[in-house]
Amino acid sequence: MNIVATGGGGFTHQSDDLLENYVLSLSDKKHPNIGFLPTASGDNETKIACFHERFKHSGNSTHLGLFGTVSDVAQWIHAQDIIYVGGGNTKSMLAVWQSWNLPELLRNALHRGTTLAGVSAGAVCWFDVALSDSAGSGLQPLSCLGLLSGSCCPHFCNKADPAHAKTNNKDRKTVFKDLISEGKLPAGIGIDDGVAVHYSNGELVKVISARDGAAAYKIEANGKELVTKTLPA
């Protein structure tokens, strides 16, 4: 059971072919069915077009839109060998998914052998809880699908977002560490842009970096001490 979570970047922003090729390598099919869930961006047409352009020679690419005419959701999920989830608003995405029974369908797909992957919102959604700005009140814990244990923070080493300057003038890394130290988040993983983490059967098995200096980090509280470990990529 494979889940690949990318901190940021990918085909919608800049080319991180190494990461996307790694996801493709997890399928034993030469031309797998690759499905895109663009829910977090409100089915953004530009991101959908980027997805199809990126994977047009790699397999049979389709996407599932949930804001217009909707296909048979269960049938679409069942047909995919790889499901890739795009970035955007995690909270809104999860709410829409719930109304279409996507959490259960994705869990069943994972157990059937479908590879689940995604970037940003599509990375953190698989964990118990994410550090997210999608509620509109700064960086806060957000309960997610619970397919992977612990917490997750995307865009880990990015600078503070000016949009949060009035309420939380700290970068994601600092907020994530503070919340773990305070016991408000469980131990977790921070993922830089251009980096993917691969979980197999719920265990972290590999970190893949497509950018110089980018990494993933394990963060946990050990008593009163906060321990940060850079994971080898």
Query: According to the model, what pLDDT value does residue 166 have?
Result: 39
Q: Which of 120, 132, 134, 209 is catalytic?
A: 120
Q: What pLDDT does 77 receive?
A: 97
Burial 148-161 (b: 16+ CB within 10 A, else e): bebbbbbbbbeebb
Can you give the pLDDT at residue 172?
92
pLDDT the model gives residue 84: 97
Contact in structure between 80 and 33 (CB atoms under 8 Å): yes
Pair 6, 16: CB distance under 8 Å: yes
Q: Which of 200, 197, 210, 217 is nearest to 6 (CA)?
A: 197
Residue range 2-231, CATH number: 3.40.50.880
User: In terms of Cα–Cα distance, which of 42, 49, 43 is closest to 11?
Assistant: 49
What is the reported pLDDT for 136? 77
Q: Is 120 a catalytic site residue?
A: yes
Low-confidence residues of the chain: pLDDT under 70? 14-15, 159-169
The predicted-structure confidence for 170-183, as pLDDT tens digits, reads as follows 789 999 999 999 99
Q: What values do phi and psi take at 172, rounded to 5?
A: -60, -40
Write down the pLDDT at residue 146. 97
Q: Please report the pLDDT score of residue 157 as a whole number.
A: 86
Looking at residue 165, its pLDDT comes to 39
Query: What is the residue extent of each domain of the chain?
Result: 2-231
Say what the pLDDT of residue 94 is: 97
Identity of the residue numbered 201: N
Work out the burial of residue 218: count CB atoms within 10 Å of its CB; fewer than 13 is exposed, 13-18 middle, 19 or more buried: middle
Q: Report whether 192 contacts 156 (CB < 8 A).
A: yes
Contact of 147 with 110, CB cutoff 8 Å: yes
> Model confidence over 69-91: pLDDT tens digits?
888 999 999 999 999 999 999 99
Q: Residues 63, 134, 155, 209: which is the catalytic one?
A: 155
pLDDT value, residue 10:
85
Give the pLDDT score at 170.
78
